[in-house]
Amino acid sequence: MKEPKKFLETLNSYKDAIDSDKVPAHNFKAIRDTLALDTFTPENMATKSSAAAGVCDWIINITAYYDVFVSVEPKKAAVAEAKATLAAANEKKEQVDALVADLNAKLQILLDQFNIVMKEKNDAMAAAEKCERKMNLAQRLVGALGSELDRWQQSIIDCGETLKVIIGDVLLASAFVSYVGPFNKKFRDQIIYDNFVEFFKTNDIPMSPVANPLGILTDEATTAGWNTYGLPPDLVSTENGAILTNSERYSLIIDPQLQGIVWLRKTWEPHGLKITRLTNPKMPKDIEFAVEGG
């Protein structure tokens, strides 16, 4: 201590020596017993020497600093290591996030392509199902029509045979409509079979083996409709209905039982039929309006 200035510099630089870990640990271990003495205090030393009190205070404080340095430095090192680890983890996380973003972008492209392909697949399946349904319906139709083959073939044959006799059948039906209307069933049959048919045979006019004017003039469905509207189902009434509906001239109907008038009204009322009598004062007007309305 013969050089106070140098000694002071040593004390001032001691903290840097501790920070640089240049002070051996046994130095502070060696003074623990002295520090534990009750007499080793700045106040007690001040009674002896103010310089000694200053050195005592420095020793106590530098020891406290060393203790803090020893306990805090590993924590600082751990914190630094943790920060380095965190930085590395963050860097790796950024790399992973970038990789995930890239994979998500690629995945989205694949998903879009997958959706397009699935839509095409669903459209194709729907079209295939539609075609299959159509094919099934077509097969069912072909199967159903196949059972009609024999009937159609027979119908073609029948039509061919009908064409051979169509001239005589139509001529017979025309003669029937024109001439047999005023007669009863007995005279009608006599006119047809004893006169018309014999005339056709004599003159080689082709006709069906069985003379049947009604086969040309009407059909079963039409006849059933007439019966529904009140026409009696007997053969004479049916013949009368055929004559009336196939005549270009207006028919005169003798109808004492009023069966024909009932049938006429029900059949033609939906078409605007007007009923009148010669004694009706409005008859000319009714006829005028009927003519104007067609």
CATH of the domain at 279: 3.40.50.300
Domain-ending residue, one of 170, 185, 217:
217
CA torsion angle 59 65 71 74 (round to 10): -120
Examine the domain organization and report whether 225 and 290 are in the same domain: yes
Examine the domain organization and report whether 12 and 90 are in the same domain: yes
Q: Give, in degrees to the nearest 5, the angle at Cα 21 between 18 and 26.
A: 80
Q: Give, in degrees to the nearest 5, the angle at Cα 245 between 280 and 293.
A: 50
pLDDT digits 0-9 by tens, 18-39 = 777 788 888 888 888 888 888 8
Examine the domain organization and report whether 187 and 199 are in the same domain: yes
pLDDT digits 0-9 by tens, 143-193 = 777 767 777 777 777 677 777 778 888 998 999 999 988 999 999 999 988
Is residue 52 domain-resident?
yes
d(CA 138, CA 141) in angstroms, rounded, equals 5
Determine which helix (DSSP H) or strand (DSSP E) holds 102, and give its type and residue range: helix 50-146
Is residue 33 domain-resident?
yes
Is residue 201 domain-resident?
yes
Lowest-confidence region among 14-28, 43-57, 176-190, 255-269: 14-28
Is residue 120 domain-resident?
no
**For residue 25, what are the domain limits?**
4-101
Average pLDDT over residues 261-282: 88
- Which are the contacts of 265, defined by CB distance < 8 A and separation ≥ 6? 273, 275
Q: How many domains does the chain have?
A: 3
Q: What's the whole-model pTM score?
A: 0.47
Average pLDDT over residues 4-11: 82
Domain-ending residue, one of 194, 217, 240:
217
Question: What is the model's pLDDT at position 1?
Answer: 64
pLDDT digits 0-9 by tens, 99-127 = 999 999 999 999 999 999 999 999 999 99
Examine the domain organization and report whether 50 and 79 are in the same domain: yes
Is residue 147 domain-resident?
no
d(CA 94, CA 91) in angstroms, rounded, equals 5
Residue whose entry in the numeric block shows the structure tokens 């009923």: 275
Domain-ending residue, one of 217, 235, 252:
217
